[in-house]
Amino acid sequence: MTEWQLTRTFSSTSGDVRWDRLGPEAGRQPVVLLHGTPFSSFVWRAISRSLARDHQVFVWDMPGYGMSDKSADQDVSLAAQGRIFTELLSHWGLDEPLVVAHDFGGAVALRAHLLHGARYRALALVDPVALAPWGSPFFRLVREHAEVFEQLPPPLHRALVREYVTSASSPGLHPAVLDRLVEPWLGDPGQAAFYRQIAQADQRYTDEVQGRYAEIAVPTLICWGRNDTWIPAEKGAELAALIPGARLEPIADAGHLVQEDAPAELTAVLLDFLQRQH
C-alpha cells in the first residue's frame, strides 16, 4: 500500500528532481502524471501501475515536494514548476505525451502548455487548481503568516499537517497512507518546506493563463470528486465550459484526493480517455 520509490534524478534550477519511469519502453503513447499540493507522486502509485500495463508512465516529485530537494530560498512557485516541467519533457524526449495532472499539477501543466509551448497529445485534469479564486481560508491564513507557522513546535506542526491532509479525502485515508503523505513535511527540512510552498502559492500564476483556456486545442478530460471540499465540484463545469470540447466526468463518493478515494473509478475513466487517443 505504501511502497513507492523514485530512482532517477534530474538537476533543475530549483534543485534535484526525483522521477521514475514505469511500463514497457515500446508501450503505447507515454503518459506523464503530475501531483498536487501538499502531495507527491505517491498519490499516483496505484493508478500509475495500472496505466503501466500498456503505457510508458513518467512520474516525478516537484522541487520542494516528496523525495525531491527541499532547501531554504528555493523557488517552488507555479512559475518555476511550469518551467521545470517543460525542461523535464525535453529531458525525457517526449514530444506529445498524454498528460494527467491533479490539483496544483493542473496549473503546472496548463502553464507549461500555454506559456512555454509544451505540446500534449491529450490532457486530463483531476480537480485542478485552474480558476480564481482558489485557496481555502486555512490556506490563505498560512500563506499570510507562513513565518509564524514555520516556528510551530514539531508536535503541533505534525497535527496540523495531518488534519489538513486528512481533509482532502471524503471517506478518510488509511492510517498508513496518511503517515506516508505527511512524512515528507516533518522535521528538517520538511517543516520549513511545507510552509514555503504555501507562501509561494500566488493566484496571479493562474490568472496569467485563465483567459487563454479557449486556446487549448487538444482533447481534454476534466475529472472532479463530487465531494471535494477544497475546490467545489461546480468549478469542474465552469472549467469545462472554457476549454473547447472538454468532457467533464464527476467521480462519486470522492473528495479532492480522488486517487485515494476512488482509484478504481478514476483509473477506468482515465483508461477510457487515453485509449481514445490512439
Residue 149 forms part of a structural domain: no
**Is it the case that residue 278 has pLDDT exceeding 90?**
no
Cell of 158: 505534525
Cell of 39: 502531495
In this structure, which amino acid lies at residue 148?
V
Residue 17 forms part of a structural domain: yes
Instruction: Give helix 154-166 / helix 175-182 axis angle, nearest 10°.
Output: 120
Quote the domain boundaries for residue 19.
Answer: 8-134+203-275
The number of distinct structural domains making up the chain is: 1
Residue 215 forms part of a structural domain: yes
Taking Cα atoms as reference points, which of 85, 77, 94 lies closest to residue 206?
A: 77
Residue 75 forms part of a structural domain: yes
Question: How far, in Å, CA of 125 to CA of 121, rounded?
Answer: 14
Q: Determine the pLDDT at residue 25.
A: 86
Helix ranges (DSSP H) in 65-186:
78-92, 104-115, 137-144, 146-149, 154-166, 175-182
For the chain, percent of residues with pLDDT exceeding 70: 100
> Residue 213: which CATH number?
3.40.50.1820
Higher-confidence residue of 1 and 11: namely: 11
| pLDDT tens figures, 74-125 | 999 999 999 999 999 999 999 999 999 999 999 999 999 999 999 999 999 9
Residue 65 forms part of a structural domain: yes
The pLDDT of 175-191, averaged and rounded, is 97
The answer to whether 60 touches 17, Cβ cutoff 8 Å, is yes
The pLDDT of 179-208, averaged and rounded, is 97
Residue 59 forms part of a structural domain: yes
**Is it the case that residue 240 has pLDDT exceeding 90?**
yes
Residue 171 forms part of a structural domain: no
Residue 168 forms part of a structural domain: no
**Is it the case that residue 135 has pLDDT exceeding 90?**
no
For the chain, percent of residues with pLDDT exceeding 90: 95
